[in-house]
Amino acid sequence: MTENLVHLSQTMPSWLWNFILILLSIFLGFLIKALLIPLVRKAAVAQTSYSLFRSFVKHFNQILSVFIPLLFFNGLLPIARLNSTTHQIVSTATEIFLIVCFAIILIRAIKVFEDYLYHRFDVNKENNLRERKIRTQIVFIRKLVITIIIIVTLAIILLSFESMRKVGAGLLTGVGIGGIIIGFAAQKSLGNLLAGFQIAFTQPIRMDDVLIVEGEWGRVEEINLTYVVVNIWDKRRLVLPINYFIEKPFQNWTRTTAEILGTVFIYTDFTVPVQQLRDKLTELLEGHPLWDRKVNVLQVTDLKERTMEIRCLMSCRNSGQAFDLRCFVREQMIDYIRTQFPESLSKTRVAYAQQQDE
């Protein structure tokens, strides 16, 4: 078989033989992919929930179209009819492409593993504190590992060139001074990176946490290596350096649990019947699905010269539901007072002293 290939390669023109090798490698690569992918896709479709096969097809489908033919071409390269210079160039280029493809495969494998962990720790459940903790660590570690893979890949590619090895050897003589200069120049970036490690494992914030930061209410949307993106309630995005959450105070409404107490303040006249308002609040809460049936309190919390302050306190599963329930209770209580006790709305009293005739 080998002798026949050698004889065939010697009888053909060089360009034709090399062209046949390229076509053969592409054909073999796509043949293997055509045999494997349908089987994997069929197994993936058969499962309605999360599927490791489906995740594999999603992340590896495109890269395998390049990697497998390239791998076959690298295996057939020794029998190609090329001169020494061309063979060296083609061999080096093929090696670089294989290194890049292998790095991409590693990154895609990380994405497949991340999909599994996302399925294992689903944040869509009601009490998702543990899941959000783990997802925060997953996101940070994934980005860090991908960054390391890219840096190592670039280093391997550069070291494959002889000229780069010489440049690297020359640079090593000044690594001491260069390290000090780079340390001073990049101290903020390194500080952000270390802050990222601290946040990923001590977790003052997590993915999807509800924060009050810089006077804005929002949810943590992204935690990157050097910055955090907070999704503000009106769809704006607040981008902050990651060490902000180490150095400055902020409010985290979901630090230990998403449950929160909602408050509604009502200002009325002194004549309003408080017990009837208390009964009305209970009626409103018991008929509303957002109330979690834990806290239901109505109290007179302050008494001023013109008004009486009444506080309605209620509990909810999370801050978003608390906001909606507070609005509902405020609207209904005001409407109840206006229709049932209109004389008890806040008012200003003016007394006129009657002047007697002397």
- Cα–Cα distance for residue pair 195/306, rounded to 1 Å: 52
In a domain, 216, yes or no: yes
Which tens digit of pLDDT belongs to each residue from 155-177? 787 777 666 655 544 444 444 54
Residues 77 and 23 in one domain: yes
How many domains is the chain built from? 3
Residues 173 and 109 in one domain: no
Helix and strand element counts for the chain (H, E)? 11, 8
Residue 323 has pLDDT above 60, yes or no: yes
Query: Cβ distance 220 to 208 under 8 Å?
Result: yes
CATH number at residue 204: 2.30.30.60
Residue 131 has pLDDT above 60, yes or no: yes
**What confidence score (pLDDT) does residue 276 get?**
94
- Mean pLDDT, the chain, rounded, equals 78
In a domain, 273, yes or no: yes
Residue type, 252: N
Residue 36 has pLDDT above 80, yes or no: no
Residue 305 has pLDDT above 60, yes or no: yes
**What confidence score (pLDDT) does residue 160 get?**
72
Alpha helices in 239-318 (DSSP H): 244-247, 274-286
In a domain, 70, yes or no: yes
Q: Band of the pLDDT at 201, cuts 50, 70, 90?
A: confident
Residues 277 and 242 in one domain: no
Give, to the nearest 10 degrees, the angle between helix 187-202 and helix 175-185: 70
* CA 5 to the chain's CA centroid: 54
In a domain, 156, yes or no: no
Query: Cβ distance 245 to 205 under 8 Å?
Result: yes
Q: What percentage of residues in the chain have a pLDDT greater than 90? A: 24
Range 326-334 average pLDDT: 94
Domain end, chosen from 209, 237, 257, is at 257
Residue type, 1: M
Residues 88 and 147 in one domain: no
In this prediction the pTM is: 0.56
Range 94-116 average pLDDT: 87
Does residue 293 come out as left (phi exceeding 0), alpha (psi in the -120 to 50 range) or beta? left
At which residue do the structure tokens 């107490």 appear? 261
Residues 29 and 77 in one domain: yes
Which tens digit of pLDDT belongs to each residue from 48-59? 566 677 777 777
Q: Give the domain range for residue 241.
A: 140-151+161-257
Residue 88 has pLDDT above 60, yes or no: yes
CA distances from 297 to 258, 261, 282, 309, 312 (A): 20, 11, 8, 14, 6
Least trusted range by pLDDT, from 50-59, 87-96, 131-140: 50-59
Higher-confidence residue of 222 and 255: namely 222
- Cα–Cα distance for residue pair 301/308, rounded to 1 Å: 8
CA atoms within 13 A on the CB side of 150: 7
Does residue 178 come out as left (phi exceeding 0), alpha (psi in the -120 to 50 range) or beta? alpha
User: CB under 8 Å to 39, separation ≥6 — which residues?
Assistant: none
Instruction: Tell me which residue of 308, 320, 310 sits closest to 231, measured CA to CA.
Output: 320
Residues 63 and 104 in one domain: yes
- Cα–Cα distance for residue pair 55/41, rounded to 1 Å: 10
- Per the document, the length of the chain is 358
Residues 250 and 265 in one domain: no
Residues 229 and 272 in one domain: no
Residues 167 and 231 in one domain: yes
**What confidence score (pLDDT) does residue 325 get?**
95
User: CB under 8 Å to 59, separation ≥6 — which residues?
Assistant: 108, 109, 111, 112, 115
Range 175-183 average pLDDT: 51
Range of 49-58, 105-114, 159-168, 348-357 with top mean pLDDT: 105-114
Which tens digit of pLDDT belongs to each residue from 229-272? 999 989 899 999 888 888 899 999 888 777 888 999 999 998 89
Range of 112-126, 167-181, 281-295 with top mean pLDDT: 281-295
